[in-house]
Amino acid sequence: MKSRLLGGLTPRGFLRRHWQKRPLFVRAALEQIGNLPDRRALAALAARDDVESRIVEHRGGRWQTTHGPFKKACLGKTNATLLVSGVNFHDRAADRLLRRFDFIPQARLDDVMVSFATPGGGVGPHTDSYDVFLIQGEGTRRWAVWSPGHSRKITQVTKPGDLLYVPPGWKHDGVALEPCFTYSIGFRAPRGAELGAAFLDYLHERGLPDAVYRDAGLPPATQTARIPGEMLFFATKALQRIRWSRSDIVTFLGEYLTQPKPHVVFRPTGSRGSQLRLDPKTQLLYFGDRFFINGEAFTLPRRHRDAMRRLADRRRSEIASLAGQAKLIGEWRRAGYVHLEKRDG
């Protein structure tokens, strides 16, 4: 189905033509941005310990960044930007905006960053290693986008409701022409080295094979700085005993992708209703018969798996469909992972 959000393209068409290939600009992609945080609400979020925020200023030809929390987010009249990450964790409208992009797997979705800039404000020319959708809120901003190698430059002024998609590796620079809001839909793109380090930690937590080096009968050393061949042989044999399977990788990846960021805090509510809703900070993913929620792996009897997959995909479900997992749902409610609410409408 064609989407106004994607300039008349279907999600399949967008993914084939633009995703990680070339930018896309859509005029009036969103008729209404929604009731997203205004400047005062954004400043209130920036004052919190459990929210990532920063102020970027361009003064005297230099960029200066200050990290929050800010008791009072004071911006200069020009050349300054307040950026708040993870706004979707704390604001329902921002979470709905993020879910407009659920044609991308949830494992890749990251968060909504909201920026408010005074005229001339921005963060400077930069290149991201991940994809980003930039949605213009109130005000206007001038964007410049350079292709890899800078062989081509694209310029565009975005107005409220406009959308700009920038693939990874494309340098871009947005400058506010007047006080303005911009909403950035970011995506996760873990690097191989990052995954490797995390996987080694995962294996270590589960107990790596252990052994103690012994060198009985050691002869006197004639080359005292040389690493003994026996020690190299011992290390080779010990490390070769480290084994993992595809099942280990599935479990690791599921836990890794759903692990909350360090500053995230869950808060239970005493809400009532017939619908179960995942907290905006909750990540519930699955692969095969295994499920992962906020860094924890679990399995379910076959008869309950389809209902749990629907909850993961839609992020909400009738509580009755998960009645067979009342104990698990109760634990999640007490942890603040899920909430009950009245049915929409």
Q: Annotate 145-169 with DSSP letters as a single string.
A: EE-GGG--EEEEEE-TT-EEEE-TT
First and final C-alpha spacing in the chain: 25
CA–CA separation, 92 and 7 (whole Å) = 25
> Burial level of 254, CB count in 10 A (0-12/13-18/19+)?
buried
Q: What is the CATH number of domain 250-341?
A: 3.40.366.30
CATH 3.40.366.30 location in the chain: 250-341
Give the integer Cα–Cα distance in Å for 115 and 78. 14
Per-residue pLDDT of the chain (345 residues; tens, 9 = 90+): 778 999 999 999 999 999 999 999 999 999 877 789 999 999 999 999 999 999 999 988 899 999 999 998 888 899 999 999 999 999 999 999 999 999 999 999 999 999 999 999 999 999 998 999 999 999 999 999 999 988 889 999 999 999 999 999 999 999 999 999 999 999 988 888 999 999 999 988 887 778 888 888 888 888 888 998 899 999 998 888 888 999 999 999 999 999 999 989 999 988 788 899 999 999 999 999 999 999 999 999 999 999 999 999 999 999 999 989 999 999 999 999 999 998 765
Report pTM: 0.89
Please check whether the domain covering 4-187 is classified as CATH 1.10.150.20: no
Q: How far apart are CA 181 and CA 183, in angstroms?
A: 7
- The pLDDT assigned to 21 comes to 95
Asked whether the beta carbons of 114 and 42 are under 8 A apart, the reply is yes
Q: So what's the pLDDT on residue 176?
A: 98
pLDDT value, residue 264: 93
- The per-residue pLDDT for 60 is 86
Q: Cβ distance 188 to 110 under 8 Å?
A: yes
Burial zone of 50 (CB within 10 Å; 0-12 exposed, 13-18 middle, 19+ buried): middle
* Domain span(s) for CATH 2.60.120.650 in the chain: 4-187
Q: What per-residue confidence (pLDDT) applies to 67?
A: 95
Q: Is 52 exposed, middle or buried (0-12, 13-18, 19+ CB in 10 A)?
A: buried
3-state helix, strand, coil in the chain (%, to 5): 30, 25, 45
Q: How far apart are CA 199 and CA 193, in angstroms?
A: 10
What 8-state DSSP symbol labels residue 208?
A: -
| pLDDT tens per residue, range 65-104 | 999 999 988 888 999 999 999 999 999 999 999 999 999 9
Give the CA dihedral 178, 179, 181, 182, nearest 10 degrees. Answer: 40
Residue 304 phi, psi dihedral angles, 5° rounding? -105, -5
Backbone angles phi, psi at 116, to 5 degrees: -120, 125
Residue 204, pLDDT score: 87
